[in-house]
Amino acid sequence: MTAAAAVLLLAAAALLAGAASGSKWTFTKKGSVVTYDERSLLIDGRRDLFFSGAIHYPRSPPEMWPKLLKIAKEGGLNCIETYTFWNAHEPEPGKYNFEGRNDMIKFLKLVQDNNMYAVIRIGPFIQAEWNHGGLPYWLREIPHIIFRANNEPYKREMEKFVRFIVQKLKDADMFASQGGPVILAQIENEYGNIKKDHITDGDKYLEWAAQMALSTNTGVPWIMCKQTSAPGEVIPTCNGRHCGDTWTLRDKNKPRLWTENWTAQFRAFGDQLAVRSAEDIAYAVLRFFAKGGTLVNYYMYYGGTNFGRTGASYVLTGYYDEGPLDEYGMQKEPKFGHLRDLHNIIRSYQKAFLEGKQSFELLAHGYEAHNFELPEEKLCLAFISNNNTGEDGTVNFRGEKYYIPSRSVSILADCKHVVYNTKRVFVQHSERSFHTADPSTKNSVWEMYSEPIPRYKQTNLRTKEPMEQYNLTKDNSDYLWYTTSFRLEADDLPFRGDIRPVVQVKSSAHALMGFVNYAFAGSARGSKKDKGFMFEKPIDLKIGVNHLALLSSSMGMKDSGGELVELKGGIQDCRIQGLNTGTLDLQVNGWGHKVKLDGEEKGIYTEKGMGAVKWKPLENGHAVSWYKRYFDEPDGEDPVVLDMTSMSKGMIFVNGEGMGRYWTSFRTIAGVPSQALYHIPRPFLKSKNNLLVVFEEEIGKPDGILIQTVRRDDICVHISEHNPAQIKTWDTDGGQIKLIAEDHSTRGILTCPPKKKIQEVVFASFGNPDGTCGNFTAGTCHTPNAKDIVTKECIGKKSCVLPVDHRVYGADINCPTTTATLAVQVRCHNKGDSE
C-alpha cells in the first residue's frame, strides 16, 4: 500500500461517507423507528453500520465536550456511548445532581448537534472502574438489601432510578423515537460475572430487569452486555478484546453488537503501562465485522480523568490514557488515524457489506475469506484473514495471490483490490512532550498546615475494638483515624538498646499511616490484587502512657463482585511485639475514631475555608500535611498537568475542585510511578492566581511540583520499502469507489498540528532503525545522509511527503540486516511555543 494511494482512497471514502451520512445521521422531530433483525439494527427500516466511542461525561469538564465530540466524528465515529452514574446523580436518596460534569442531557444534546447517535448504558450498576460501581453508598444502609439480586429492596431502588433516568431522557426528547440521538439503552452490566453466585437467583433477576426495562417504553431496543443470550427482546452484546473470535451469540434472531472493544487496559496504582496496538484493535474489529458484526464501541475512545474521589479502588486518576484520544483529549497516533481509515473504508462499501450475500472460504491453515456480494449490482467486499501468529504468508483467492501479514485482515474492494490491511500502518505516529511553565506568579510561595494527630481522649466515638471503616466514613471521605493509648512500665521495655518494639496492624483498607507519640512511624499499603496487608514497623516507646494513631485510607470503593454490599475496610488486629514482658494485644484496648481529616472538615482547600487554620512557611519532612500556593495559568492552549514526582500519596485541589488522588510512591516493577502527571483541565483555571492545595499523607517535597504543558509536536513515520504495494489509488464514480491508477511507490506523510510548522528533524534513518516514535535508534545499515534529505524536504513546511526508497537515501539494499525501513521524527512549533 502506498501512503499517497491511501490518502486518495481515504479522501474518496470520506466523500462517500459524508454524502451518505447527512440523511442517515440527521434526526427529525417526528422521530425514528429503531428495530433489529439477525443482521443489524435498523433505523426506519434501513440498515446501518455503527462505529461508536465511549466518552463518559463526568470524566471531563463540559467545556471540553464539544471538541472531544468533534474530534471523535473526525475519527469516523457516528455514535457515542456513555454510562449513567447513579452515585453522581443521586448522592442522597431523592436528591439529584445533573449540574456541571453531571449534566447528562447537555452532553447528549451535543452528541445530537454533531449528528451522531448515542448509546446510553443506564445499568444502573456500571462497574466502569467508578467508585462502588456507580451504586450510591446509601443503598448499603437499606435493611436486608442484596445488590443485583432477586431482592425486593434492591429491585425497588433500581427500578425507581431507571424510571427516573428514562423519564428525564424522555422529557428532553433524547430517544430516537422522539427525534433524539439515543438508539440503544442498556440494563444491568456484565451480569455473567456474578450470576454463578447462587444467592442472587440470577435468572429470575435478569428476567425481571429485562421486563422492567422494556416496560419503560423508550421506543428503542434494550441491551445486556457481556452475555451470549438475554431475556425476551433484549439484545445480548459482547465485551472484550476479540469478540469476533471469542464470543458466541446464542440468540440467533438478534444482531451481533460489541459494546466494549477495550482500546487498552484500565490501570491501577502499581500497574505497568498497558498498551494495545492500533494494529491489534483494527484486526479485532475486522474479524468481528467479517463474521457479521455491525456495531463496535471502543472502550474507551476518550477515558478522561477520575476527578475527586470518583475512581474505584486503586484505579489511576488518569483513565484509559492509551485510547485513540489520550487523557488530555489529544489524538494518539497511529491509533486514532489507523482506526479512522478503517471506519471510512468499510462505510464506503457498506451496501455490499449490509445487503450482500455472505459466504465463507477456508483458504489455507489459518487463512479465511469472508465475502459479501451483490452480483446484480456488481458489488463485492471480502475480508481475508491470516489468523496465524508470527507467520506472514501469501494465499490464492479467486485466481490472485495476496500477501497477508500474520494476525491481520485485508479488505478487498470488489473482492479484488486490497484497500486496507490492519497491520500495515501508513498514518503518522506522535509522541507527547512536556514543558515546564514559567512559575513567576508573585505569591507562589508554598505554605503548609500539618494535620493534627488525634489522641484517644480527643475523640468522641469510642469503642472497645476498632470499628469497620466504611460504616463510619459512609464514603464521604477516604480517611479514618484510629487511636488508642496504653501504659508501659520500665520492666515492659526491652533491656537491650539494639532491640526496638514492633507494632503490627492487620488492615483491609488500602493504605495505613502510623504515628507513635506523634512521631511518624511509617506507612504500608495493599494493592489491587491483595485483599489485605500488614503494617509492621519498629517504634520507640517510653515509660508511662504511649499514644498510637493510625490513619487508614481508602483509594475508592470496590466496583464489582457479588459481595459488594458486604465490602469492609479498616483495621482488624493490632499488637506490639518485642516487649520484655511479651506481646501486647491492643485489639480490645479501647479505640477512638475520627472520620475525615481536620482540613477536609474545614474545607481548607478552598478560598473560603483556608482561613480556618494557621498556615506557616514550608518545611519539608512532615507527614499528613497540607500545602498551598498560587500559580498563573500557563500561556497558550496546550493542556496543563502537574508533575507530582516529588510527592508520595494524597489528593490535589485546584480552585477548590478535586483533581483526583495521586500516589507516586507506589512504584511499578520498573521502579517508576504508575502515574506521575495529573491533568488540570484549563476550564478549572483562571488567568491569574489559581489556588493549588495538596494534601500529602506521607513525606513529600511540594517545592518540587512542576506545572507543565503538554504537546504532541513530535511526529514520526516508520515505514518499510518491503511492504508490498498492493493498495491502489481510487476515486468515486456513481457512489462507488473505482480504481483509477496504480502507484507502486511507498511514501510517508508528516503533517503538523494546526498553526504549526516543521522546525526540526530530530531523527532520520533508512536501513534497520530500531525503537518507536520518540525513541528511535540507528541500526547497522544506517544511511548518514538521511537526515539531510529529510531536512531539505520538510523544514519550514506544515506537511511533507517522504519517499520510502533506498535509492533516494543512497542506502545499501544489500546490507545483510537491512529492513529497508525509513524512520523519521520531526518536531513542529509555532513562534509562540516556548521550549
**Catalytic residue numbers?**
190, 260
Name the one residue in this structure whose C-alpha cell is 457516528.
78
Give ∠ CA 748-754-759 in degrees, rounded to 5: 65
Pairwise CA distance, residues 820 & 721, whole Å: 5
Q: Give 765's strand partners.
A: 823
570 close to 482: Cβ distance less than 8 angstroms: yes
Half-sphere exposure of 473 (CA within 13 A, CB side): 26
Pairwise CA distance, residues 288 & 800, whole Å: 36
Total count of residues recorded for the chain: 835
Give me the phi and psi of 25, to 5 degrees please.
Answer: -105, 5
Pairwise CA distance, residues 195 & 355, whole Å: 37
Which residues in 736-754 are b (16+ Cβ under 10 Å) and which e? bbebeeebeebbbbbbbee
Nearest to 82 by CA among 109, 119, 116, 113: 119
Q: Where are the beta strands (DSSP E) in 461-540?
A: 461-463, 479-488, 502-507, 511-516, 519-525, 533-538
579 close to 538: Cβ distance less than 8 angstroms: no
Which parts of 614-764 fold into alpha helices (H)? none
Pairwise CA distance, residues 679 & 224, whole Å: 33
Q: Which three cell numbers stand for residue 45?
A: 427500516
- Pairing of β 257-262 and β 235-240: parallel
Query: Given CA atoms 352, 358, 362, 367 in this order, what sign does their dihedral have?
Result: positive
Q: Which three cell numbers stand for residue 750?
A: 508528516
Pairwise CA distance, residues 101 & 317, whole Å: 16
Amino acid at 404: I
Nearest to 237 by CA among 197, 296, 300: 296
Pairwise CA distance, residues 712 & 752, whole Å: 9
Pairwise CA distance, residues 148 & 154, whole Å: 7
660 close to 698: Cβ distance less than 8 angstroms: no
Q: Which three cell numbers stand for residue 754?
A: 494546526
376 burial (CB, 10 Å; 0-12 / 13-18 / 19+) is exposed
Pairwise CA distance, residues 237 & 756, whole Å: 43
Largest interatomic CA distance in the chain: 100
Pairwise CA distance, residues 319 & 305, whole Å: 6
563 close to 571: Cβ distance less than 8 angstroms: no
Pairwise CA distance, residues 473 & 468, whole Å: 9
Amino acid at 592: G
Question: CA Rg, the chain, in Å?
Answer: 30
Name the one residue in this structure whose C-alpha cell is 500529602.
696
CB neighbour list of residue 11: distance below 8 Å, 6 or more residues apart: none
Q: Give 186's strand partners.
A: 121, 223
How many CB atoms neighbour CB 699 within 10 A?
A: 17
